[in-house]
Amino acid sequence: MMYRVIRCPGCFTFTYVDPYQHWKLCHVCGEVIDATRAPVYLEVIDHQDAERVVCQLQDYLEETCREDLDAAEKKKIRSEYARWVRNRID
């Protein structure tokens, strides 16, 4: 099952949902997130990967004092994740 890494529109905290989940309650601010409308940053294979990616993305934005990733960074994390998964499978 694939998981989608998204962000809360209220507090911009990263979180994840499974593909069948339509709503998620933000664990930080309590906002009800419409998972069908939230931008997807990355799709990952399992919830352990989703947890790791959520933490890494949040840490990266805090360390760089940025509010969001640009299009090139989103593309880069997708290709890096795909490479990481391929290496893990080989």
Tell whether pTM > 0.85. Answer: yes
47-to-19, 51, 63, 89 alpha-carbon distances in Å: 12, 6, 24, 17
Q: Are residues 69 and 32 in contact, defined by beta-carbon separation less than 8 angstroms?
A: no
Low-confidence ranges of the chain (pLDDT < 70): 90
**Mean pLDDT of all residues in the chain?**
94
Q: Give the pLDDT confidence score for residue 1 in this predicted structure.
A: 80
- Sign of dihedral through CA atoms 25, 31, 36, 41? negative
* pLDDT at residue 90 in the model: 67
What DSSP element (H or E) covers 44? Answer: strand 42-44
